[in-house]
Chains A and B, each alone.
Chain A
Amino acid sequence: GENVEQHPSTLSVQEGDSAVIKCTYSDSASNYFPWYKQELGKGPQLIIDIRSNVGEKKDQRIAVTLNKTAKHFSLHITETQPEDSAVYFCAASMGSARQLTFGSGTQLTVLP
Protein backbone atom coordinates (compact mmCIF):
# COMPACT_ATOMS: atom_id res chain seq x y z
CA GLY A 1 0.00 0.00 0.00
CA GLU A 2 0.85 3.68 0.01
CA ASN A 3 3.53 5.00 2.38
CA VAL A 4 3.90 8.71 3.15
CA GLU A 5 6.96 10.10 4.90
CA GLN A 6 6.97 13.62 6.32
CA HIS A 7 9.86 15.83 7.41
CA PRO A 8 10.74 17.50 9.67
CA SER A 9 8.87 16.22 12.71
CA THR A 10 9.34 19.56 14.49
CA LEU A 11 9.98 23.02 13.07
CA SER A 12 10.48 26.32 14.87
CA VAL A 13 10.55 29.61 12.98
CA GLN A 14 10.52 33.27 13.90
CA GLU A 15 7.34 35.20 13.22
CA GLY A 16 7.43 36.57 9.70
CA ASP A 17 9.79 33.89 8.39
CA SER A 18 8.80 31.12 5.98
CA ALA A 19 8.20 27.47 6.87
CA VAL A 20 8.56 24.49 4.55
CA ILE A 21 7.34 20.95 5.24
CA LYS A 22 8.15 18.12 2.86
CA CYS A 23 6.48 14.78 2.12
CA THR A 24 7.32 11.85 -0.10
CA TYR A 25 4.96 9.13 -1.24
CA SER A 26 5.60 5.66 -2.56
CA ASP A 27 2.76 4.82 -4.96
CA SER A 28 3.00 6.56 -8.34
CA ALA A 29 -0.76 6.01 -8.79
CA SER A 30 -1.54 8.53 -6.02
CA ASN A 31 -3.21 11.61 -7.48
CA TYR A 32 -4.67 13.62 -4.60
CA PHE A 33 -2.55 15.34 -1.93
CA PRO A 34 -4.25 17.32 0.85
CA TRP A 35 -2.62 19.15 3.76
CA TYR A 36 -4.30 19.37 7.14
CA LYS A 37 -3.70 21.60 10.15
CA GLN A 38 -4.53 20.17 13.57
CA GLU A 39 -4.69 22.36 16.65
CA LEU A 40 -4.51 20.88 20.12
CA GLY A 41 -7.66 18.96 21.03
CA LYS A 42 -9.28 19.49 17.63
CA GLY A 43 -9.80 17.47 14.49
CA PRO A 44 -7.65 18.08 11.39
CA GLN A 45 -8.74 20.95 9.15
CA LEU A 46 -8.00 21.01 5.44
CA ILE A 47 -5.85 24.02 4.51
CA ILE A 48 -4.95 23.27 0.90
CA ASP A 49 -4.89 20.36 -1.52
CA ILE A 50 -3.43 19.60 -4.93
CA ARG A 51 -4.17 17.06 -7.62
CA SER A 52 -1.62 15.36 -9.83
CA ASN A 53 -2.52 17.35 -12.93
CA VAL A 54 -1.26 20.54 -11.24
CA GLY A 55 2.32 21.37 -10.22
CA GLU A 56 1.65 24.22 -7.81
CA LYS A 57 -1.27 25.80 -5.99
CA LYS A 58 -1.36 28.92 -3.86
CA ASP A 59 -3.86 30.35 -1.40
CA GLN A 60 -2.74 33.63 0.19
CA ARG A 61 0.23 32.76 2.46
CA ILE A 62 0.03 29.02 1.80
CA ALA A 63 1.32 27.17 -1.25
CA VAL A 64 1.82 23.54 -2.17
CA THR A 65 4.15 22.18 -4.84
CA LEU A 66 4.07 18.71 -6.37
CA ASN A 67 6.85 16.86 -8.17
CA LYS A 68 5.31 13.70 -9.62
CA THR A 69 8.57 12.42 -11.05
CA ALA A 70 10.30 12.54 -7.67
CA LYS A 71 7.09 11.63 -5.83
CA HIS A 72 7.29 14.44 -3.35
CA PHE A 73 5.19 17.43 -2.41
CA SER A 74 5.80 20.36 -0.09
CA LEU A 75 3.86 22.89 1.96
CA HIS A 76 5.14 26.46 2.05
CA ILE A 77 3.86 29.00 4.57
CA THR A 78 5.10 32.56 4.15
CA GLU A 79 4.98 35.44 6.63
CA THR A 80 4.28 33.04 9.47
CA GLN A 81 2.17 34.18 12.41
CA PRO A 82 1.83 32.75 15.94
CA GLU A 83 -1.61 31.39 15.03
CA ASP A 84 0.06 29.17 12.42
CA SER A 85 1.48 27.12 15.31
CA ALA A 86 -0.07 23.66 15.08
CA VAL A 87 0.61 20.14 13.81
CA TYR A 88 0.52 19.84 10.03
CA PHE A 89 -0.20 16.56 8.23
CA CYS A 90 0.27 15.70 4.59
CA ALA A 91 -1.68 12.88 2.98
CA ALA A 92 -1.91 11.02 -0.30
CA SER A 93 -4.64 9.08 -2.06
CA MET A 94 -5.25 7.30 -5.31
CA GLY A 95 -8.73 8.78 -5.29
CA SER A 96 -12.05 7.17 -6.14
CA ALA A 97 -12.80 5.36 -2.88
CA ARG A 98 -9.13 4.73 -2.08
CA GLN A 99 -8.12 5.66 1.41
CA LEU A 100 -6.06 8.67 2.49
CA THR A 101 -2.65 7.76 3.89
CA PHE A 102 -1.30 10.39 6.29
CA GLY A 103 2.24 11.39 7.11
CA SER A 104 3.42 11.40 10.71
CA GLY A 105 2.95 15.13 11.21
CA THR A 106 5.09 18.23 11.75
CA GLN A 107 4.80 20.31 14.90
CA LEU A 108 5.25 23.90 13.72
CA THR A 109 6.01 26.53 16.35
CA VAL A 110 6.08 30.20 15.35
CA LEU A 111 8.03 32.22 17.87
CA PRO A 112 6.85 35.81 18.45
Chain B
Amino acid sequence: EAEVAQSPRYKITEKSQAVAFWCDPISGHATLYWYRQILGQGPELLVQFQDESVVDDSQLPKDRFSAERLKGVDSTLKIQPAELGDSAMYLCASSLYDVGETQYFGPGTRLLVL
Protein backbone atom coordinates (compact mmCIF):
# COMPACT_ATOMS: atom_id res chain seq x y z
CA GLU B 1 0.00 0.00 0.00
CA ALA B 2 1.40 3.39 -1.02
CA GLU B 3 2.19 5.76 1.83
CA VAL B 4 3.28 9.33 2.40
CA ALA B 5 6.89 9.40 3.57
CA GLN B 6 8.31 12.01 5.92
CA SER B 7 11.73 12.58 7.43
CA PRO B 8 13.09 13.01 9.93
CA ARG B 9 10.59 11.47 12.36
CA TYR B 10 11.99 13.45 15.27
CA LYS B 11 14.01 16.65 15.44
CA ILE B 12 15.42 18.48 18.43
CA THR B 13 16.91 21.90 17.82
CA GLU B 14 17.78 25.04 19.68
CA LYS B 15 15.92 28.26 19.12
CA SER B 16 17.31 30.48 16.36
CA GLN B 17 18.56 27.43 14.45
CA ALA B 18 17.25 26.40 11.03
CA VAL B 19 15.29 23.16 10.53
CA ALA B 20 13.96 21.44 7.45
CA PHE B 21 11.40 18.70 6.95
CA TRP B 22 10.95 16.53 3.88
CA CYS B 23 7.84 14.90 2.45
CA ASP B 24 7.35 12.46 -0.41
CA PRO B 25 3.65 12.13 -1.29
CA ILE B 26 1.91 9.10 -2.73
CA SER B 27 2.94 8.67 -6.34
CA GLY B 28 0.63 10.50 -8.71
CA HIS B 29 -0.93 12.74 -6.07
CA ALA B 30 -1.08 16.26 -7.41
CA THR B 31 -2.01 17.98 -4.17
CA LEU B 32 0.31 18.19 -1.17
CA TYR B 33 -0.40 19.74 2.21
CA TRP B 34 1.71 20.70 5.21
CA TYR B 35 -0.08 20.85 8.55
CA ARG B 36 1.07 21.80 12.04
CA GLN B 37 -0.46 19.92 14.97
CA ILE B 38 0.05 21.27 18.46
CA LEU B 39 -0.31 18.66 21.19
CA GLY B 40 -3.97 18.15 22.08
CA GLN B 41 -5.29 19.98 19.03
CA GLY B 42 -6.34 19.17 15.49
CA PRO B 43 -4.04 19.73 12.52
CA GLU B 44 -3.96 23.25 11.06
CA LEU B 45 -3.08 23.83 7.43
CA LEU B 46 0.14 25.74 6.79
CA VAL B 47 0.44 25.46 3.01
CA GLN B 48 -1.21 23.63 0.11
CA PHE B 49 0.42 22.85 -3.24
CA GLN B 50 -1.23 21.88 -6.49
CA ASP B 51 1.62 20.31 -8.46
CA GLU B 52 4.46 22.83 -8.00
CA SER B 53 2.22 25.85 -7.35
CA VAL B 54 1.16 27.20 -3.97
CA VAL B 55 -2.65 27.23 -3.73
CA ASP B 56 -3.01 28.43 -0.15
CA ASP B 57 -0.33 29.70 2.23
CA SER B 58 -2.48 32.17 4.14
CA GLN B 59 -1.66 30.49 7.49
CA LEU B 60 2.08 30.14 6.86
CA PRO B 61 4.20 32.52 9.01
CA LYS B 62 6.18 33.74 6.06
CA ASP B 63 8.72 35.67 8.10
CA ARG B 64 10.25 32.39 9.26
CA PHE B 65 8.59 29.54 7.34
CA SER B 66 9.09 28.61 3.71
CA ALA B 67 7.91 25.69 1.62
CA GLU B 68 8.72 24.47 -1.84
CA ARG B 69 7.75 21.71 -4.22
CA LEU B 70 10.03 22.48 -7.11
CA LYS B 71 9.26 19.55 -9.41
CA GLY B 72 5.74 18.96 -8.24
CA VAL B 73 6.66 15.76 -6.42
CA ASP B 74 8.42 15.89 -3.04
CA SER B 75 8.39 18.94 -0.81
CA THR B 76 10.47 20.66 1.85
CA LEU B 77 9.24 22.82 4.72
CA LYS B 78 11.82 25.04 6.37
CA ILE B 79 11.82 27.10 9.55
CA GLN B 80 14.46 29.76 10.07
CA PRO B 81 14.95 30.78 12.80
CA ALA B 82 13.09 28.28 14.97
CA GLU B 83 11.27 29.61 18.03
CA LEU B 84 10.13 27.81 21.18
CA GLY B 85 6.50 28.08 20.03
CA ASP B 86 7.28 26.07 16.90
CA SER B 87 7.45 22.85 18.92
CA ALA B 88 4.75 20.68 17.38
CA MET B 89 4.07 17.78 15.02
CA TYR B 90 4.47 18.70 11.35
CA LEU B 91 2.29 16.54 9.15
CA CYS B 92 2.38 16.13 5.40
CA ALA B 93 -0.62 14.86 3.47
CA SER B 94 -1.42 14.28 -0.18
CA SER B 95 -4.53 13.78 -2.25
CA LEU B 96 -5.14 12.83 -5.84
CA TYR B 97 -6.63 16.12 -7.00
CA ASP B 98 -7.93 18.49 -4.35
CA VAL B 99 -9.40 18.85 -0.89
CA GLY B 100 -12.56 17.02 -1.85
CA GLU B 101 -10.52 13.88 -2.31
CA THR B 102 -9.25 11.74 0.52
CA GLN B 103 -6.16 13.18 2.19
CA TYR B 104 -3.56 10.60 3.18
CA PHE B 105 -1.26 11.63 6.00
CA GLY B 106 2.35 10.74 6.64
CA PRO B 107 3.67 9.75 10.09
CA GLY B 108 4.75 13.32 10.84
CA THR B 109 7.89 14.97 12.17
CA ARG B 110 7.91 15.75 15.88
CA LEU B 111 9.84 18.99 16.43
CA LEU B 112 11.12 20.10 19.81
CA VAL B 113 12.72 23.54 20.06
CA LEU B 114 14.83 24.11 23.17
Chain A residues near B (Cβ < 8 Å): 4, 6, 31-32, 34, 36, 41-46, 49, 89, 91, 93-100, 102-105
Main secondary structure of the interface of A (DSSP, over half): loop
Specify which chain A residues have a CB less than 8 angstroms from the CB of B104 in the assembled complex.
46
Give the 4 A-B CB pairs with smallest separation, nearest first.
Answer: A102-B42, A43-B105, A95-B100, A99-B45
The stretch that binds A, out of B12-20, B48-56, B70-78, is B48-56
Partner of A89, one of B42, B107, B108: B42
Contact yes or no, A96 B42, CB < 8 A:
no
Partner of A49, one of B40, B50, B102, B105: B102
Over the window 78-114 of chain B, the binary record of Cβ atoms lying under 8 Å from chain A Cβ atoms (1 yes, 0 no) is 0000000000000101000011101111111010000
Pairwise interchain contact A97-B56, C-beta atoms closer than 8 A? yes
Inside 8 A of B43's CB, which chain A residues have their CB?
Answer: 44, 89, 102
| Tally of B interface residues using CB under 8 Å | 24
A61 CB to closest chain B CB, in angstroms?
A: 20
B100 and A93 within 8 A (CB):
yes
Contact, CB under 8 Å: B42 / A104 = yes
Interface of chain B residues 24 through 70 with chain A (CB within 8 A): 40-45, 48, 50, 55-56
Task: Give the distance to chain A from B5, nearest Cβ to Cβ, in Å.
Answer: 11
**Nearest chain A CB to B104 CB, angstrom units:** 7
CA distance A94 to B108 in the complex (A): 25
B91: chain A residues at CB < 8 Å are 43-44
CA distance A41 to B22 in the complex (A): 17
Residue of A at shortest CB range from B58?
A99
In Å, the complex CA distance between A44 and B78 comes to 22
Query: Which residue of chain A has its CB nearest to the CB of B100?
Result: A95
